[in-house]
């Protein structure tokens, strides 16, 4: 594994086989003939024909980009068109031809001067040099009758490497086939980078000369978030990258043998709802409500919370939206809540512990908003879960509060309904008594980040124990297994909303462990949906059984083919 | 006939505004030049020359027109230079917010 650094311009990752794009290589010019021997009229005609051809191609690229990407991105081709028709350039080229140059030499020479004028300058001026090269290459390809490399028809899982990519090149790319692009030059605001971003193609630019050391055909990972190009990435790096961006599927997915798995999104702000729906999420598996409470001077009132919840339900009218009640604690104090300073906030007053006690009023307000929302237009999709459960008494108390709020709303004659109710499984205690929790509730949702932290006694923020903070330790897998078995026996459904759920390399294992729902960052929804479709539930169950029999993390990783 | 105008689009006289400027200039018969006040102007019909000025947003330029439709040409070019262009450049692209911390902590 070897890592090269550049500037990430599309914050996505992809893995594929390296393929070099060297358009300049194909454009080798003929020898310069004796000027006296050149048929000037014929050369002039060749130039005008090439110019017309390039103009048509630019118009087509503009229209295609306007349709696929957007009017803003298409505008660059209008600029190219103006360069192509530039009276100074055109006159100079015609003059050179009149002096006895071949059309291709006239074009190459005059454009070289124009490029030199812009090259070496900063920012936007340097980008003009790219624009001019693009226009020049179009003219030269037409003159030399060189077919452009068909960038629109690259094999799937290609990582395209180039010294530079022009906006025209980039707009041609098929986002389903191209896993990523990496270029030696360029910056974040270059048009090619903007178009790649609009097409959701992972991209790293400005890698420098080191990129030339990457051989054709090797496996390359482009990490547009970290701004890294990884040659021969190891398995954990691949898994983290999530592989090739899969097509968005809005419909629900089943395993190859027909088991339905819900693939939902974790959402922390109203603004994330739309993008989550666009990525094909089957609802929201974790709607964090903390954003409503943070960065303000007083808590939100019932109506504000109601509006937010109904907005989430409206974004997913046919799907479930799982709202987690307020999950704050000493690790993230809220100024107006007077949270105590604790030596160990992760083991202190947080989540349900606060909601049932010192912040019972906030909990009641939140429940009122939730129960009212459950009776709203798409309210039958609402589900509510409580965080940080360690014992059945907390669930019983929470259910009592729900009942009391329902009674109050009844008395007041306010429309309401009781939504599906569930609990998060984040503590080893909850996993151990999952059967009792599942008896009382409609569902459980496993939060693997905290579950791992608590099972392994390893602070998720502490680099020194990072190796312990891995859900693939057998102890964590067995806690998950215990939870899923308990829900199956109790006829409750079980989901997972931790980082683990969004790792496509673990999808088969999680299906095998019996999860009904996986909820993740919206960006990984398409990839996990694709994985579900390729999974055979019986094989997955066998894999899970073998994983659960492992004694070490290494054993589990070997089984999953990780290093 | 001439006019002095402040350049409004974020991109300055580059990319999309420059293309619109040159396209507009080419629609008129008048001889048109553009440049910084006090400097010699360049051919407004030439994308190469216009972008070569490297005029940034907020700068002032002088447009000079000679010919029958000079007044109309100046109006058209002024309109291009004073119309803001939204989303012209990458910086203003809004990234889709995604949460990478996964699950369950606040």
Q: Model confidence over A84-116: pLDDT tens digits?
A: 999 989 999 999 999 999 999 999 999 999 888
Nearest residue on chain A to B96, judged by CA atoms? Answer: A275
Q: Which domain covers residue B25, as residue numbers?
A: 2-84
Quick one: what percent of chain A has pLDDT higher than 90? 58
Separation between Cα atoms, residue A117 and residue B38, nearest integer Å: 22
Number of domains composing chain B? 1
Interface test with A, best of B18, B91, B103 (most A CBs within 10 A): B103
ipTM of the complex: 0.75
Average pLDDT over residues B45-73: 92
Nearest residue on chain B to A331, judged by CA atoms? Answer: B106
Pairing status of strand B31-35 against strand B60-66: antiparallel
Separation between Cα atoms, residue B26 and residue B50, nearest integer Å: 13
pLDDT for residue A495 is more than 60: yes
Give the closest of B15, B19, B103 to A498, CB-based.
Answer: B103
Q: Are residues A390 and A533 in the same domain?
A: yes
The closest of A517, A311, A541 to A422, measured between CA atoms, is: A517
Domain annotation covers residue B56: yes
| Distance (Å) from the alpha carbon of B2 to chain A's nearest alpha carbon | 22
Separation between Cα atoms, residue A252 and residue A248, nearest integer Å: 11
Q: Please, what is the average pLDDT of chain A?
A: 89
Least-confidence region, from A148-152, A222-226, B35-39? A148-152
Question: What is the model's pLDDT at position B99?
Answer: 33
Domain annotation covers residue B104: no
Question: What is the model's pLDDT at position B93?
Answer: 31
Domain annotation covers residue B96: no
- Cβ atoms of A169 and A192 within 8 Å: the answer is yes
Question: What is the model's pLDDT at position A23?
Answer: 73
Number of domains composing chain A? 3
Q: Are residues A204 and A314 in the same domain?
A: no
Active site annotation includes B14: yes
- Cβ atoms of B59 and B36 within 8 Å: the answer is yes
| Distance (Å) from the alpha carbon of A332 to chain B's nearest alpha carbon | 7
pLDDT for residue B101 is more than 80: no
Q: Which of A117, A144, A171 corresponds to the end of one domain?
A: A144
Beta strands in B17-57 (DSSP E): 31-35, 42-43
Question: What is the model's pLDDT at position B102?
Answer: 38
Q: Are residues A514 and A543 in the same domain?
A: yes
Identify which has the larger pLDDT, A430 or A332. A430
| Distance (Å) from the alpha carbon of A86 to chain B's nearest alpha carbon | 5
pLDDT for residue A330 is more than 70: no
Question: What is the model's pLDDT at position B104?
Answer: 41
Q: Are residues A136 and A165 in the same domain?
A: no
Tokens matching residue B15 = 């990319």
Quick one: what percent of chain B has pLDDT higher than 90? 50
φ/ψ of A13, rounded to 5, equals -120, 155
B87 touches chain A (CB under 8 A): yes
Contact state of B104 with A447 under an 8 Å Cβ cutoff: yes
Domain annotation covers residue B103: no
Question: What is the model's pLDDT at position A25?
Answer: 62
pLDDT for residue A133 is more than 50: yes
Identify which has the larger pLDDT, A433 or A358. A433
Q: Are residues A123 and A159 in the same domain?
A: no
Average pLDDT over residues A409-437: 97
User: pLDDT per residue over A144-163, tens digit each?
Assistant: 887 666 787 788 889 999 98
Q: Are residues A118 and A61 in the same domain?
A: yes
Question: How is A478-541 classified by DSSP, letter by letter?
Answer: HHHHHHHHHHHHHT-EEEE-SGGGG-GGGHHHHHHTT-SEEEE-GGGHHHHHHHHHH--HHHHH
Distance of CA B94 to the CA centre of its chain: 23
CATH number, position A413: 3.20.20.60
Residues of B in contact with A267 (CB under 8 A): 99
Q: Are residues A138 and A224 in the same domain?
A: no
- pLDDT band for position A351 (50/70/90)? very high
Residues of A in contact with B31 (CB under 8 A): none
The closest of A399, A406, A314, A396 to A368, measured between CA atoms, is: A406
**Residues comprising chain A, all counted:** 563
User: pLDDT per residue over A177-213, tens digit each?
Assistant: 899 999 998 766 566 777 787 778 899 988 988 999 9
Q: Are residues A272 and A409 in the same domain?
A: yes
Average pLDDT over residues A42-59: 93
Contact state of B12 with A275 under an 8 Å Cβ cutoff: no
- Cβ atoms of A322 and A360 within 8 Å: the answer is no
Q: Are residues A188 and A131 in the same domain?
A: no
Question: How is A363-421 classified by DSSP, letter by letter?
Answer: HHHHHHHHHHHHTSTTGGGEEEEESS--SHHHHHHHHHHHHHHHHHHHHHT------EE
Nearest residue on chain B to A424, judged by CA atoms? Answer: B104
Question: What is the model's pLDDT at position A148?
Answer: 65
Which helix (H) or strand (E) segment holds residue A168: the answer is helix A167-172
Question: What is the model's pLDDT at position A104?
Answer: 94
Give the closest of A88, A190, A497 to B46, CB-based.
Answer: A88
Question: B6-45: b or e for each residue (b if 16 or more CB lie within 10 Å)?
Answer: ebebbbbbbbbbbbbbbbbbeebebebbbbeeeeebbbbb
Question: What is the model's pLDDT at position A491?
Answer: 87
Domain annotation covers residue A249: no
Q: Are residues A108 and A192 in the same domain?
A: no
Q: Which of A179, A207, A241 corresponds to the end of one domain?
A: A241
Q: Which of A191, A378, A416, A473 is catalytic?
A: A191
Tokens matching residue A420 = 């599906």
Residues of A in contact with B84 (CB under 8 A): none
Question: What is the model's pLDDT at position A340?
Answer: 73
Q: Which of A144, A171, A204 corresponds to the end of one domain?
A: A144
Phi-psi region of A453 (alpha: psi -120 to 50; beta: other; left: phi over 0): alpha
Domain annotation covers residue A237: yes
The closest of B50, B52, B49, B100 to B80, measured between CA atoms, is: B50
pLDDT for residue B97 is more than 50: no
Domain annotation covers residue A387: yes
Q: Which of B5, B14, B45, B64 is catalytic?
A: B14
Give the closest of A79, A266, A267 to B103, CB-based.
Answer: A266
B98 touches chain A (CB under 8 A): yes
Question: What is the model's pLDDT at position A16?
Answer: 92
Selection from A3-7, A76-80, A94-98 with the highest mean pLDDT: A94-98
Residues of A in contact with B105 (CB under 8 A): 327, 331, 449-450, 460
Domain annotation covers residue A326: yes
Quick one: what percent of chain B has pLDDT higher than 70? 79
Question: What is the model's pLDDT at position A195?
Answer: 75
CATH number, position B36: 3.30.1340.10
Contact state of A327 with B105 under an 8 Å Cβ cutoff: yes
Question: What is the model's pLDDT at position A360?
Answer: 95
Give the closest of A86, A124, A275 to B47, CB-based.
Answer: A86
Q: Are residues A98 and A180 in the same domain?
A: no
Domain annotation covers residue B29: yes
Q: Which domain covers residue A137, as residue numbers?
A: 28-144
Give the closest of B11, B26, B49 to A88, CB-based.
Answer: B49
Domain annotation covers residue B47: yes
pLDDT for residue A243 is more than 60: no
Residues of A in contact with B104 (CB under 8 A): 286, 324, 327, 387, 424, 426, 447, 449-450, 497-498
- pLDDT band for position B92 (50/70/90)? very low
Contact state of B103 with A447 under an 8 Å Cβ cutoff: yes
Question: What is the model's pLDDT at position A295?
Answer: 66
Domain annotation covers residue A449: no
Average pLDDT over residues A532-543: 96
Q: Are residues A69 and A172 in the same domain?
A: no
| Placement of tokens 């964090």 in the chain | A288
């Amino acid at each position: 594994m070897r890592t090269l650094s550049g500037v990430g311009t599309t914050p996505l990752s992809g893995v594929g086989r390296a393929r070099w794009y060297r358009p300049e290589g194909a454009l080798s010019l003929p020898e310069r003939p004796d000027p006296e021997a050149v048929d000037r009229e014929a050369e002039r005609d060749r130039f005008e024909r090439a110019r017309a051809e390039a103009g048509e191609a630019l118009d087509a690229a503009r229209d295609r980009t306007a349709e696929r990407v957007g009017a803003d991105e298409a505008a660059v081709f209008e600029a190219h068109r103006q360069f192509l028709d530039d009276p100074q350039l055109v006159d100079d080229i015609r003059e050179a031809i009149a002096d006895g140059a071949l059309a291709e030499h006239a074009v190459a020479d005059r454009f070289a001067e124009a490029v030199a004028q812009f090259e070496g300058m900063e920012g936007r001026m340097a980008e003009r040099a790219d624009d001019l090269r693009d226009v020049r290459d179009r003219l030269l390809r037409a003159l030399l009758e060189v077919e452009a490399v068909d960038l629109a028809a690259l094999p799937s899982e290609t990582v395209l490497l180039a010294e530079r990519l022009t906006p025209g090149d980039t707009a041609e790319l098929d986002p389903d086939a191209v896993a990523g692009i990496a270029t030696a030059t360029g910056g974040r605001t270059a048009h090619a980078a903007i178009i790649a971003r609009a097409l959701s193609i992972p991209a790293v630019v400005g890698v420098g000369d080191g990129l030339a050391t990457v051989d054709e055909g090797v496996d390359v990972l482009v990490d547009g978030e970290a701004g890294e190009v990884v040659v021969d990435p190891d398995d954990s790096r691949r898994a983290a990258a999530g592989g090739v961006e899969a097509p968005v599927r809005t419909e629900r997915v089943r395993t190859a043998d027909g088991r339905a798995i819900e693939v939902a999104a974790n959402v922390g702000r109203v603004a994330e709802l739309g993008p989550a729906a666009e990525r094909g999420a089957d609802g929201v598996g974790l709607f964090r409500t903390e954003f409503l409470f943070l960065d303000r001077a007083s808590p939100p009132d019932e109506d504000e919370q109601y509006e937010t919840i109904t907005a989430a339900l409206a974004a997913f009218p046919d799907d479930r939206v799982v709202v987690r009640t307020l999950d704050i604690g000493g690790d993230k104090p809220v100024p107006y809540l007077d949270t105590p300073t604790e030596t160990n906030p992760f083991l202190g007053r947080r989540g349900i512990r606060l909601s049932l006690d010192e912040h019972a009023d906030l909990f009641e307000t939140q429940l009122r908003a939730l129960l009212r929302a459950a009776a709203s237009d798409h309210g039958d999709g609402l589900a509510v879960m409580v965080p940080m459960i360690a014992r059945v008494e907390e669930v019983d108390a929470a259910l009592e509060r729900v009942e009391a709020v329902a009674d109050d709303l009844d008395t007041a004659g306010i429309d309401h309904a009781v939504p599906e109710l569930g609990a998060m499984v984040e503590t080893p205690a909850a996993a151990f008594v999952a059967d009792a929790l599942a008896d009382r509730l409609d569902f459980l949702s496993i939060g693997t980040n905290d579950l791992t932290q608590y099972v392994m006694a390893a602070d998720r923020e502490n680099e020194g124990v990072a190796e312990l903070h891995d859900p693939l330790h057998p102890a964590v897998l067995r806690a998950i297994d215990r939870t899923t078995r308990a829900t199956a026996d109790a006829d409750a459904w079980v989901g997972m909303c931790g980082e683990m759920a969004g790792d496509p390399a673990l999808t088969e294992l999680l299906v095998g462990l019996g999860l009904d729902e996986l909820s993740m960052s919206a960006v990984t929804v398409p990839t996990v949906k694709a994985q579900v479709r390729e999974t055979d539930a019986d094989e997955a169950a066998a894999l899970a059984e073998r994983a659960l029999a492992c004694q070490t993390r290494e054993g589990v990783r070997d089984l999953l083919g990780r290093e | 006939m001439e006019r002095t105008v402040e350049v409004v689009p974020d991109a300055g006289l580059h990319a999309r505004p420059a293309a619109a400027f040159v396209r507009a200039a080419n629609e008129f018969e008048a001889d048109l030049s553009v440049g910084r006040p006090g400097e010699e102007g360049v051919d407004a019909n030439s994308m190469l020359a216009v972008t070569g000025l490297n005029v940034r947003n907020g700068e002032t330029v002088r447009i000079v027109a000679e010919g029958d439709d000079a007044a109309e040409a100046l109006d058209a070019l002024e309109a291009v230079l004073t119309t803001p262009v939204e989303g012209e450049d990458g910086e203003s692209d809004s990234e889709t917010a995604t949460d990478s911390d996964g699950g369950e902590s606040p």
